[in-house]
Each structure stands twice: as structure tokens, then as C-alpha cells.
Amino acid sequence: MKYISLKNCLLLFLLAGCNATPERQKAATATTNDTTEVTKTIAAGKQTTASLEAMLAKKEVPVLCYHHIREAKPGQSESMKSYSVSPAQFAEQMKALHDSGYKTVLPEQLYEYLVHDGPMPAKPVMLTYDDTDEEQYSIAVPEMNKYGFKGVYFIMTISINRPRYMSKEQIKNLSDSGHAIESHTWDHHMVTKYTTADWDIQLSKPEKTLTDITGKSPTYFAYPFGLWNQAAIPELKDHHYKMAFILSTKRDTTEPLYTVRRMIVPGQWSTNGMLKAMRSTFKK
């Protein structure tokens, strides 16, 4: 993965390395025969078969990941700054995406594009938000509304109604307004550390909570810290998740639907730097 004229090499190392676990390195070396077929279950209960070769040949849709939308605190480390953008930066980035012709898409549209060759805008982008921070509602939504953008909110359900985090009412409003409310586990526990009991706690418990709030069952998942392993994928499938999102590194060639790549947008980047990194990362 090559970025063009970006000054912060340390930041790129942090982003690229956030998935560098032995499990990920092993998974990244997996290969598959081009004629391998993968069977997927769709909402109507029917089966459809998609070629892995065809799925992997499709152009990747840029998926941006935001955490905090707030001013950097005095003395804050560079690594912490990498998870924050200021409100002014965020507003500038939304305007730049709009002015560059980008249209937002949601996970269901991405899934249909990958599996069923569904339609996609000429310049799609997905805006995702992790961890349930309140400013993702109070700051991000008004800026997105200016351009008709919709976002994907990966909710860590233990934080709901706590100070600095979103309330049930805010999450319900997001869902009712056309944004996607999806799962980011109960307490951000690392998937690669799960024991048998953790799967229900971290997958089933949030599913029930979010369904009770929005009336819609989440079917898409973001791995905490972007970390995953092969053992997680059958569990996600058993819990009815259709697609899952990682960070930074390339998708797995055997399970592309469960390793969809995202790019963190750090506070150290200019808006032009963000656009260049996005185009470079998702250039295929």
C-alpha cells in the first residue's frame, strides 16, 4: 500500500500495523483457486453463488473510519491524535468529498454490489464511525446533512447512555433518519482473545440491544481495533452477520466479505492528504 506525499510516516506505520498479529499475517498468506465458489445466504432465505474471482476483481469502495470529532488536547500523543479530527477538519473533509463528486453508500449497498453485482455510484464512499461517541451525532450529522450523506455507526453497546456517548434516543434517531446502526461488540473486547462464552456476549448481546432500540437487527460488524482471525468468521456467520470490517491491511482473499478494508482518518492529515491517501489505498 503506497501513500502519495504524506508527511507523517510514523502515522502510516501505526495505521498499517494495527492488524499485524500472527493470526493476521497467517491469514494474509492464504490463497485460493480462481474457480472457488462461495455460497452466501441472502435476506429472502434463498441461496446465491458468487465467484471469489469476480468479487475480488471488483474495484474496492473507499471506506473511511472516524472515532473522535473534537479538538486535540494539550500534550496529547501523536497516536491519540491519529484517532481524532477537529470539527473544522471534519467539516472541510465532508465538503471536499461532496465537491469531488463522492456519494455515500451504506453496507447493504456494498454487499449487494459485491455479491449480486448491484449498482454503485461512480464515486462511492462509505463514512463509518466507531465506539458510539456523542459528537458523531451532534457534530457529524449536521455536516453530513448539508450534502445528503449517510453514515454507518458501529456501536459499542456498553457505552450507550453514558457521559460523552450517544443515548438510545440519539441512536434511534440516526436509524430513523436513514443511517446504518451496526455492531461493534458489547465492550470492545478484542475478537482474537475470545473464549467460547465471549461470542454470545460480544455478538448476541449487542444484537438484541440494538434491535430493541431501532427495531432493526444489525447484520454488519466492525472488529475492535480492526483485529480479526479465521476463527471469528464462522462465528459471525452463525450470528447472521453478512459482512465485517477490518482496518488498514488488505482484505483476505478467501473471505473478502468478512475482511472489508477501512482507512482511519487521523487528525494529522490535511484534507488534501486524506483524499490522496483514500485514492491510493483504494485505487484498484
| Interval 18-37 mean pLDDT | 37
CATH class of segment(s) 61-71+78-281? alpha beta
Distance CA 191, CA 96 (A): 35
Model pLDDT, residue 45 = 40
Pairing of strands 220-222, 243-245: parallel
3-state secondary structure of 141: helix
| Interval 95-114 mean pLDDT | 98
Choose among 66, 17, 63, 124: nearest CA to 269.
Answer: 66
Q: Is the pLDDT of residue 141 over 50?
A: yes
- More confident of the two residues 161 and 72: 161
CA gyration radius, the chain = 18
CA distances from 61 to 33, 64, 95, 284 (A): 24, 10, 19, 9
Q: Where are the domains of the chain?
A: 61-71+78-281
Q: Is the pLDDT of residue 32 over 70?
A: no
Three-point CA angle 161, 210, 50, nearest 5°: 145
| Interval 82-96 mean pLDDT | 96
pLDDT tens digits, residue range 106-115? 999 999 999 9
Model pLDDT, residue 50 = 64
Distance CA 172, CA 196 (A): 31
Distance CA 194, CA 201 (A): 10
Choose among 121, 120, 222: nearest CA to 180.
Answer: 222
